[in-house]
Amino acid sequence: MRELLILGCGHSESLTLFNTNAAIRENGRLFLIDCGWTIKAALHAQGYGFEHVDGIFITHVHGDHVFGLERIGYEARFGLGRRVPLYLPESLIGELWDQTLKGSMGRNSEGEQSLEDYFDVRPVGGDRLEAPQLSAPLFKTSHTPGKPSFGLVVDDHVVFTSDTRPVPDVLAGLDFDIGFHDVTFQTGNPVHASLDELVAVYPAAMRRKLYLMSYEDGYAEHEERVNQEFAGFARQGMAIAL
Ligand SMILES: [Zn+2]
């Protein structure tokens, strides 16, 4: 059984939903797609711990997608005695270590440290992730201006956008039967896709294939509309057979 497991589906501001992170699950082992600050609790909620994680792919460098790397980096290295393979698009490596994790992880009891001291770093060049657990084409998304961010197509039929503004031209060029797409209930948000925008720019046939994720706590009031216009909301613990 091979599945895409939704570990969390919340907006970065959410109090009640875990960060929008997912995993490929096969034979009780996990390959993470993003690793935000709620990852330890989100894994625990599904009956897992860091010992079940065999690899991680990062879509972009925001806290709700990468801050959990500090936890798993320390705990895997010092508690489990191993470095987890970390698949990073080359454009993210400097942002992730020099500008994000180094301040916290750059020095420990053993002295000066690098990203490679905590993780088995596997740079991802080009537009395809090649990991033993997941071979997937990547596509550029439209999230924070000037900041690299990626979505991917899992097993040739499931699109996972991670955080993005609407990207109708990109999705139109992809062959998929299920998608997981960013949404926000705010209007005028410069880096996420509002519900109104998604309804306006994506054709109905495409919308009905999309589960919406990365949403705020007040989702219940939008549930009827989302169920009518889209496949529905992604839910924590939801698993899609691949
Ligand atoms: Zn983001």
pLDDT digits (tens, 9 = 90+) for 22-39: 999 999 999 999 999 999
DSSP state of 67: T
Calculate how far, in angstroms, residue 147's C-alpha sits from the geometric centre of ligand 1.
10
CA of 60 relative to ligand 1 center, distance in Å: 7
CA of 28 to the centre of ligand 1 (A): 28
pLDDT category at 86 given cuts 50, 70, 90 is: very high
Ligand 1 centre and the CA of 148: distance in Å? 10
What is the distance in A from the centroid of ligand 1 to the CA of 239? 22
Q: With bands split at pLDDT 50, 70 and 90, how would you rate the model's confidence at 192?
A: very high
Q: What is the pLDDT of residues 62-74, one digit of tens each?
A: 999 999 999 999 9
Q: Which of 114, 26, 134, 33 is nearest to 73 (CA)?
A: 114
- pLDDT value of position 25: 98
- Report how far ligand 1's centroid is from the alpha carbon of 20 (Å): 9
Q: What is the model's pTM?
A: 0.97
**110 C-alpha to ligand 1 centroid (Å):** 32
Q: Does the CA dihedral 136-140-141-143 come out positive or negative?
A: positive
Query: How far is ligand 1, taken at its centre, from the CA of residue 61, in Å?
Result: 7
Ligand 1 centroid vs 234 CA: distance in angstroms? 17
Ligand 1 center to 1 CA (angstroms)? 30
Q: What is the pLDDT of residue 217?
A: 97
- For range 134-139, the mean pLDDT: 98
Q: What is the mean pLDDT of residues 36-61?
A: 98
User: What's the 107 CA to ligand 1 centre distance in angstroms?
Assistant: 27
Domains and CATH numbers, the chain: 2-241 (3.60.15.10)
Residues 38-42 have a mean pLDDT of 98
CA of 143 to the centre of ligand 1 (A): 7
- The whole-number pLDDT of residue 129 equals 98
What's the pLDDT at 66?
98
State what percent of residues in the chain have pLDDT above 90: 100
Separation of CA 227 and ligand 1 centre (Å): 24
How high is the pLDDT of residue 114? 98
Q: Kindly report the average pLDDT of the chain as a whole number.
A: 97
Those residues with Cβ within 8 angstroms of residue 89's Cβ, 6 or more apart along the chain or in another chain: 58, 123, 124, 138, 148, 150
Distance 149 CA to ligand 1 centre (A): 8
The whole-number pLDDT of residue 15 equals 96
Cα(109) to centroid of ligand 1, in Å?
A: 32
Confidence of residue 224 (pLDDT cuts 50, 70, 90): very high
Q: Give residues with Cβ within 8 angstroms of 173, minimum separation 6.
A: none
Distance, first Cα to last Cα, the chain: 8
Kindly give the distance from the C-alpha atom of residue 163 to the centroid of ligand 1, in angstroms, as a whole number. Answer: 5
pLDDT at 142: 96
pLDDT computed for residue 65 by the predictor? 98
